[in-house]
Amino acid sequence: MGAAPYSFSLEDSVHEKEGSVKLEEGQSPPSSDSDIADESTPTEQPNAHRYVTGWRLFCLLFGVSLAIFLANLEVTIVSTSLISITNDLNGFSRTGWVVVAYLITYTGFIIVWAKLSDILGRKVSINAALLIFVVTSALCGSAQSMTALIVFRSLQGIGAAGCFSVSMVIFFEMIPKEKYAKYGSILSADVALATALGPIFGGLIVDGTTWRWVFLLNVPGGLLATAILVFLIPSGFPHHWKPKSEQSKARIFSMECVERVDFLGSLLLIGANLLLVTALLEASTTYSWSSGVTIALIVLSAVLWVLFAGWEWFATKDTVKQEPVFPFRFFFNRAWMGMLINSVLLGVPFTVIVVDLPQRFQAINGVSALNAGVRLLPYALFAPLGSLLSNIIFAKKRLPLTLLLAGATFQFLGLILLATLPEKPDLPNSLYGFLVIAGLGVGLTFGTLVVITPESVEPRDLATATGAMIQSRQMGSAIGMTIGSSILNSYLKSNLRHVLSASQLEALLQTTAVVKTFPAELQLPVKQTFAEGYSLQMKVVAGIAAAEFLAVAMMVKLKHRK
Residue 290 covered by a domain? yes
C-alpha separations of 221 from 63, 103, 172, 229 in Å: 10, 20, 23, 13
- Are 298 and 366 part of one and the same domain? no
Count how many domains the chain has: 2
- Are 310 and 459 part of one and the same domain? no
- Are 226 and 314 part of one and the same domain? no
Backbone angles phi, psi at 23, to 5 degrees: -95, 145
Say how many C-beta atoms besides its own lie within 10 A of residue 417's C-beta.
Answer: 18
pLDDT the model gives residue 410: 95
Residue 34 covered by a domain? no
Question: Cis peptide before 176, with omega less than 30 degrees from 0?
Answer: no
Residue 128 covered by a domain? yes
Q: Are 325 and 265 in contact (CB under 8 A)?
A: yes
Does the global pTM surpass 0.85? no
The pLDDT profile of the chain, 562 residues, written as one tens digit per residue, is: 333 333 344 333 333 333 333 334 334 333 333 332 333 333 344 454 567 667 888 888 899 899 999 998 887 788 788 878 877 887 666 777 888 888 888 877 877 787 788 777 888 889 999 999 999 999 999 988 888 999 999 999 999 989 988 888 888 788 777 777 667 677 777 877 787 788 888 888 988 888 999 999 999 999 999 999 888 887 767 655 555 555 555 444 455 666 777 788 888 888 887 788 778 777 766 667 778 888 898 999 999 999 998 998 998 887 777 778 788 888 888 888 889 999 999 988 887 888 788 888 887 777 888 888 888 888 888 888 888 888 788 877 777 888 999 999 999 999 999 988 877 767 788 999 999 999 999 989 988 888 888 777 777 777 677 777 877 887 888 788 788 878 888 888 888 888 888 777 777 776 676 777 778 788 888 888 888 888 888 899 999 999 999 998 888 864 433 3
Residue 38 covered by a domain? no
- Are 225 and 291 part of one and the same domain? no
Residue 351 covered by a domain? yes
- Are 204 and 348 part of one and the same domain? yes
Residue 196 covered by a domain? yes
pLDDT the model gives residue 255: 59
Q: Are 181 and 455 in contact (CB under 8 A)?
A: no
Residue 481 covered by a domain? yes
Indicate the residue among 289, 322, 355 that finishes a domain. 322
- Are 142 and 61 part of one and the same domain? yes
Expressed as residue numbers, the domain containing 133 is: 51-242+252-261+323-553
- Are 183 and 316 part of one and the same domain? no
Residue 562 covered by a domain? no
- Are 342 and 286 part of one and the same domain? no
- Are 334 and 410 part of one and the same domain? yes
Give burial (CB, 10 Å; 0-12/13-18/19+) of 94: buried
- Are 226 and 303 part of one and the same domain? no
Q: Please give the Cα distance from 80 to 177 (Å, whole number).
A: 39
pLDDT the model gives residue 216: 93
Exposure on the CB side of residue 152, measured as CA atoms within 13 A:
21
- Are 316 and 421 part of one and the same domain? no
pLDDT the model gives residue 35: 33
- Are 369 and 282 part of one and the same domain? no
Taking Cα atoms as reference points, which of 273, 311, 271, 339 lies closest to residue 475?
Answer: 273
Indicate the residue among 298, 322, 346 that finishes a domain. 322
Q: Measured over all CA atoms, what is the biggest interatomic distance in the chain, rounded to whole angstroms?
A: 81
The radius of gyration computed from the CA coordinates of the chain, to the nearest angstrom, equals 24
